[in-house]
Amino acid sequence: MRKLKSISISAIVGMLALLTACSQKPDEVHYGSDECAHCKMMITNNRFASQIVTDTGKSIKFDAIECLADYTEEHKSELKTAKMWVSDFNNPGSWIEVGKANIVKSEVVKSPMGESLLAFENEDAMNEHLSEYPGEPVAWQSIVK
C-alpha cells in the first residue's frame, strides 16, 4: 500500500512538471540581448515586443508586432497551435494575447521596424490613445495576409 502511494505521488508530480514545461505563457524577454527571430535586430523596446509560444513551450521573440506578423505568415503551417502575445503599449512588460489585443497603426509613434503598430489591453485604452494621437485601429487579420 505504501509503495502504491509513493508511485501515485510520483506520477502526479511528474504530470505537473510536464504541464509546467509545456506552458504557452509568454517568456521573459531580455531587452538588450535577445534577438528578433524575423529581422535579427536586438530587442530593446518593451513597448513593442511580441512573441510566439509553441505548443511545446518554445518562445520565439520579436522586436515589433510587424515582425511577429511577417514571421507568422511565413511559418503558418508550423504555428497552428501556437499562441501569440504582444506587449501592452501602456503597460510595458504586460502581455496580451493577439486575439484579445486592440491594435492601432499610429501616425506619430514609431515602432522599431517603422510600421508603428501598437497594442492595447482594451478598447478604452485604445480610444484614449487615439483621442490624443492620430492613428487608426487595425484588425490582426488585416496585418497578417
- Residue 48 CB neighbour total at 10 angstroms: 28
pTM to 2 decimals? Answer: 0.83
- Does 132 reside within a domain? yes
The count of domains in the chain is 1
How far lies 75's CA from each of 102, 106, 110, in Å? 23, 27, 26
Contact assessment for residue 113 and residue 64, using Cβ atoms and an 8 Å cutoff: yes
Work out the mean pLDDT of the chain and round it to a whole number: 90
Q: Which residues pair with 119 in a beta bridge?
A: 103
- Does 7 reside within a domain? no
- Does 21 reside within a domain? no
- 27 pLDDT exceeds 80? yes
- Does 113 reside within a domain? yes
Residue 145 confidence (pLDDT)? 75
Residue span of the structural domain in which 44 resides: 28-142
- Does 4 reside within a domain? no
Cell of 52: 510566439
- 21 pLDDT exceeds 70? no
- Does 6 reside within a domain? no
Alpha-carbon gap, residue 48 to 99, rounded angstroms: 16
Residue 28 confidence (pLDDT)? 97
